[in-house]
Amino acid sequence: MTETTVFRDFVGDYPGTRLLEFLIEGRFFDYTLTDISEKSEVSWRTLNRIWPRLVENKIVMITRTIGRIKLYKLNMENPSVIKLVELFDSLLEQSVPMKEKIVA
């Protein structure tokens, strides 16, 4: 079982939330669907149910194709994605105690 994060505490711990959290954390990298499924701890079946909506709504985009494998990443040009990332970053920033902010 995975540990709860600040983002999941706020938004809810659902497969779609775990997918978004993983993609937001790795927003500068691209991943295969297998990597996304494994690292976000969302089953392959659930990923295949949710993923088409993320592509259709332009939340994620294909970055490149290697043979038959497609790599995806978060679409940082989508205004809705930008707002999600801002929320994610804001929640993380608020969760860091003041003492850690000063030291860092």
Task: Check whether 99 has a pLDDT greater than 80.
Answer: no
Is position 17 within any domain?
A: yes
Contact by Cβ (8 Å): 71, 31: yes
Amino acid letter at 1? Answer: M
Is position 1 within any domain?
A: no
Domain span at residue 89? 6-103
Q: CATH code at 26?
A: 1.10.10.10
Task: Check whether 3 has a pLDDT greater than 80.
Answer: no
Please tell me the total count of domains within the chain: 1
Task: Check whether 101 has a pLDDT greater than 90.
Answer: no
Is position 38 within any domain?
A: yes
User: What does the block give as tokens for 61?
Assistant: 């985009």
How far apart, in whole angstroms, are the C-alpha atoms of residue 47 and residue 26? 17
How far apart, in whole angstroms, are the C-alpha atoms of residue 79 and residue 85? 10
Residue 4 — pLDDT band, cuts 50, 70, 90? confident
What is residue 20's predicted lDDT score, i.e. its pLDDT?
A: 95
Is position 86 within any domain?
A: yes
pLDDT, mean of residues 14-40: 95
Residue 72 — pLDDT band, cuts 50, 70, 90? very high
pLDDT tens, residue by residue, 10-22: 888 999 999 999 9
